[in-house]
Every structure is written in structure tokens, then in C-alpha cells.
Structure 1
């Protein structure tokens, strides 16, 4: 098989995987929406729910894409390589077709976060108590992660400024 033909087959397979993933996401969303409609319920999200959903999704998306604890689940679809900047390591999709498409999903915190946010919203409706507890924990860790990143940024910036000033 020529390399051009192989690339075309890989592209078709990857697009079919994207389409399948989108269809699964939309089918679950549709089923959830129909359930709400049948039971004549409204999804009543309060402002604090949205804040917690945002921070928890941020944390869980990063956990899925980068943290060692999720490496076992990412391993069939991704590899961890040295970052181009030399600052550390990064997770990238590997393989072709289905493997690569799934690798792109789990190595992208925003992509994985979309699925995570949907699951959390469904959880708030279907099992509110455990989901709220989980949200409280994960959103707290999300806030802590952002505060840690801000602190490190200020520390590194301050050190660079002092070095530049000669003190």
C-alpha cells in the first residue's frame, strides 16, 4: 500500500472515529434531555454549581490529559515525550486512525473536559448528593491548582526581575 493511500485510509478511519464519538456524545445528551422532558424536570443549576463545575472540569481535564494517575488509561492511545521547550514532558497522541483519535481526546484537557463536564451535569441530576461531594473536592483542587500556578508565576517572575536588576 502506498504511503499516500495509507494516509488517506488513516484520515478516513480517524474521521469515522470523530463522527462516532460525536454521535455517542449527542446520543447520551439526547437521552438525558428526553429523560428530563419525560419527568417534567428542569435542570436547575445555581451560580455556585457552575463555578464548581468549571473548576472541577478544569482539574479533571488536566488529570485525564497529564497526571501520572491517569497514565494507565491513556497508555494505549498516547505517549509521554520531552516537551519542545525542554521544560518537562508532555502527552501526545500516538498511532493512527482510531488509536490516534482517542489519543487526541484523552491528551487534550479541554476535549476530555467536555465529556467530563457533561458527566458531572448528568450526575448532578441523576445522583446529586455524591456528585456534589465529588464536585466540592475536585473544584477545591482546581482552585488550589490555579492558585499554585499563579504563585509559581509570580515567584519565577520576581526571581527573573531581581536577577535582571542585579540583586
Structure 2
């Protein structure tokens, strides 16, 4: 097996181990938090905010220009395969860099870590986490609404263009 592939696998296993260690620490300390506070359960509104916040933060980390300096050592912006715009891809020259780049350039992958952090925050520091989630979920919802509006607009423009090109054909 190639040295870069070995580094890549070792990095991924390390990241998995870190994730499991944080989860284990959270579960272990959860009993302490429960004894000091009222038991906290996630309700439907929390889950909606978690989903929208995770969506927004995952895209922020993976794609937004403002986080490019954080991604730069691990990922690069490249032309999209479809030819429509650009996308972010992991760097290829190093196993470690590639693994971290894969995590940072994938909004779903990064979102797993983000969601875990937000859930831990809801239990450990509920008030500041809720404020942060309110901001991020609002922006996440706005991003979804914007994407829907843009898709409808592009569809309407295409329909008008098609209609205009075929308007006089029936006469």
C-alpha cells in the first residue's frame, strides 16, 4: 500500500477515534450534568434548528469564501466537473492533508462533527448554543429559500425563452 494511502487511512482512523472519544466523554459526563441540572430532551423545534444550523455550518466550512483560509492547507477550489462554477476538493499531495481536506470539503462529513458539537453544546451550555443555533438556522433557512427562488427563476427564464422561440411556429 502506498505511503500516502497509509497516512490517509491512519488519519481517518484517528479522526474516527477522536469523534468516538468526544462522544464517550460526553456520555460519561452526561450523568454529572443531569445531577446538576434538569434533564434536557431535544424537541422537534430543536431538531429543526439543529438540521438548519448543521446545513448552514457544513456549507460554510466546505464552500464559503470566508472559510477558505481554514481550508487552504487541506483543500483547493477547482472547476466543477459539470462546467458550472467551482467546487472544493481535497488536496492530493499528502495522505493527512487529503483526509482532512475530504472532511472539510464535504458539508455532510463536516456536518456530522458540527451536529455533535451543537448537541453537546445544548446539554453543556444551552443558552449560548441556542442563540448561536437561532442565528445559523435562520441563515440556513434563508439559504434554502434563496436556492428555491433561484431555481424557480431560472426555470421561468428558460420557459420564457423556449416560449419566445416557438411563439410564431403555429401561425
* 1:34-72 deviation line (CA, Å, top 9, x unaligned): 111344465511110000000000000000000011001
**Which structure's CA Rg is the greater one?**
2
TM-score, normalisation: structure 2:
0.90
Q: 1:2-33 deviations in whole A, cap 9, x for unaligned? A: xxx6xx21111111111000000000000000
Counterpart in 2 of 1:79? 76
Match of 2:19 among 15, 19, 25: 25
* Partner SS for 2:76: strand
Is 1:34 the counterpart of 2:28? The answer is yes
Which secondary structure state, in structure 2, belongs to the residue aligned with residue 98 of structure 1?
helix
Query: TM-score scaled to structure 1, two decimals?
Result: 0.92
Is the CA contact (8 Å cut-off) linking 2:122 and 2:129 kept in structure 1?
yes
Number of residues paired by the alignment?
A: 161
The alignment yields a C-alpha RMSD, in angstroms, of 1.3
CA distance in 1, matches of 2:15, 2:89: 19
Match of 1:124 in 2: 122
- Structure 2 gap ranges (5+): none
What is the CA-CA distance between 1:81 and the residue it aligns to?
Answer: 1.2
